[in-house]
Amino acid sequence: MPSPFPGMDPWLELPEVFPDLHGSFIVGLKQAVNADLPAPYYAAINRRVWVDLSMRHIEPDVEVLYLALPIRRGSSAKKGRSGAHATAVPLVIDDPSLIENDDMEEWFLEIFAKPGNEQLVTSIEVLSSSNKRQGNHGRELYLKKQEEIRNGRVNLVEIDLLRGGVHTTLVQRPLIEEKFGPFDYHVCVHRMDQKDKNYVYPWLLEMPLPSIQIPLVPGDPMIKVDLQPLLDACYDQGLYERRVHYRTSKPKPPLTKTQQKWADKTLKSKGL
């Protein structure tokens, strides 16, 4: 079953769905890029790994802690330093939270020019919620990489399919809106030979994903990648029509009233 929407499906932005879409989209992007890359270029998937803290619940164990409480004089309990009597009272906590380290990883795509003597030419990032959340270590690592690329000799393509979170790509949101007006999603392209320029593809929820130009070594022709067929293939192969409950759930972040009205009309026209 194809996606009911002509462009990005806002239900695919749900936290429980988007990580799977993120990985599938990068795999499809690798296949599309490699299909058009001339020799000796090739694209490969790489990953960024970090450790985060997560809250885990222990079930159904019961943990017994002890709390020292003062009691009246004359009790059989021992006196504390202040002279007041104290006793150890058991404090029973069911379902406590245990803070553990979580190994996190994100995939991204890289284009190389010299097999065997790898020369990184272009890095392609599909932004995740970790990249767009303040205080997240994944965001810190992403911004560090972004700065290194901007100061180096590598192209950067940033694909943002998430409406929520902090704006993260190289071009500030007010600058994009000043030139293009409001937008929901966008792609930002930074070329190694034009450090003072960035190219932006912004679009609205109601619009299909664009075709973008991916730069290689200066002087070599850029390759064209049509993003909408990639998203459509991900939707079909990921069986998202079985996972997304259009009637009983709402997108996150919420749509505007105008967007929700459009989405309801679109779903109704598809029998959903």
pLDDT digits (tens, 9 = 90+) for 76-101: 444 544 555 556 665 555 555 554 44
Q: Are residues 80 and 147 in the same domain?
A: no
Q: Are residues 194 and 85 in the same domain?
A: no
In this structure, the chain runs to a length of 272
Q: Please give the average per-residue pLDDT across 229-255, as a whole number.
A: 94
Residue-wise pLDDT for 147-163, tens only, equals 999 889 999 999 999 99
- Alpha-carbon gap, residue 213 to 189, rounded angstroms: 8
Percentage of residues of the chain with pLDDT beyond 90: 68
Count CA within 13 A, CB hemisphere, residue 202: 17
195, part of any domain: yes
44, part of any domain: yes
176, part of any domain: yes
Q: Please give the residue range of the domain that contains residue 183.
A: 10-53+99-269
pLDDT on residue 63: 47
* Residue 249 identity (one-letter amino acid): S
Q: Are residues 122 and 47 in the same domain?
A: yes
Q: What is the pTM of this model?
A: 0.80
Q: Are residues 92 and 225 in the same domain?
A: no
4, part of any domain: no
Q: Are residues 93 and 219 in the same domain?
A: no
188, part of any domain: yes
Q: Please give the average per-residue pLDDT across 229-250, as a whole number.
A: 94
3, part of any domain: no
Give how many domains the chain has, as a whole number: 2
